[in-house]
Structure 1
Amino acid sequence: MTRFDYFRVRAMAERLIAKFGQAGAVKRVTPPDPVYGGEPVVTSYPATLVPMAYEARYIDGTVIQTGDMQIYISSVGLAIEPTVGDVVTANGVDYAIINGDPNKYDGITPVVFIVQARMSG
């Protein structure tokens, strides 16, 4: 039986995101040391992404709210896996990730990261 090639699917996702996407960033805040204190450290990771507004039929006012964005983030070259608590910068606006799907269909290879994000403020 032929094994499915997830790298090929990932390459296709990368081509589509590169064609229709934009440059953005995923920011991760590392909290201060619990013993020594200090300031939180914000690390920004460049990313290629496609932000899209949710269709009205999906907005229920609780899980998905008006203004939430569905953001497709290319996994190629991204040093981290975007997760809840990270902030995505798209269209010059910061969005806090509130839900995410790494799309690791084989459990190993991330094809594309799809996150639900809400304007942070």
Structure 2
Amino acid sequence: MVDGRDVAAQMISHGLAVVLDNGKADYSAVEDRAKSNKSGIWASEFDMPVEYRRAHPREPDAAKVTDSRRWTSPRRPQAQGSGYPYRSCAQARAADAAPMYRGQPGYNPNLDGDGDGISCEPYRGRR
């Protein structure tokens, strides 16, 4: 319901949605009226999605089959006890220390992605 209106019923009445098997019984009457008025999808021939899929089975796309291995972006190795107080920008931001400038305590060149001397700089559009 939006502003007291049943959005599903509105969509069905305009032929913009179909009633599923587990839908409200009230919606079936609304759909029947939309069919008789030839509203929306009912203005021409239309197959219910379940019927279409049954009539047109397909093999899974090879491109969509994903490898079970997880791919991650490579990270720069960071030695334990590297002398930098923050191992990530999230830690630096949580400590309210970001951004950090080259030469300042806490500056970590591994967190300076573009090499401009500012580590953990704010995202564009944010301050």
TM over 0.5, shorter chain = no
Higher helix share: 2
Q: Which has the larger radius of gyration?
A: 2
Q: Which structure exhibits the higher relative contact order, with contacts defined as CA atoms closer than 8 Å and separated by 6 or more residues?
A: 1
- TM-score of the pair, normalised by structure 2: 0.19
Which is richer in strand?
1
TM-score, normalised by the number of residues in structure 1: 0.20
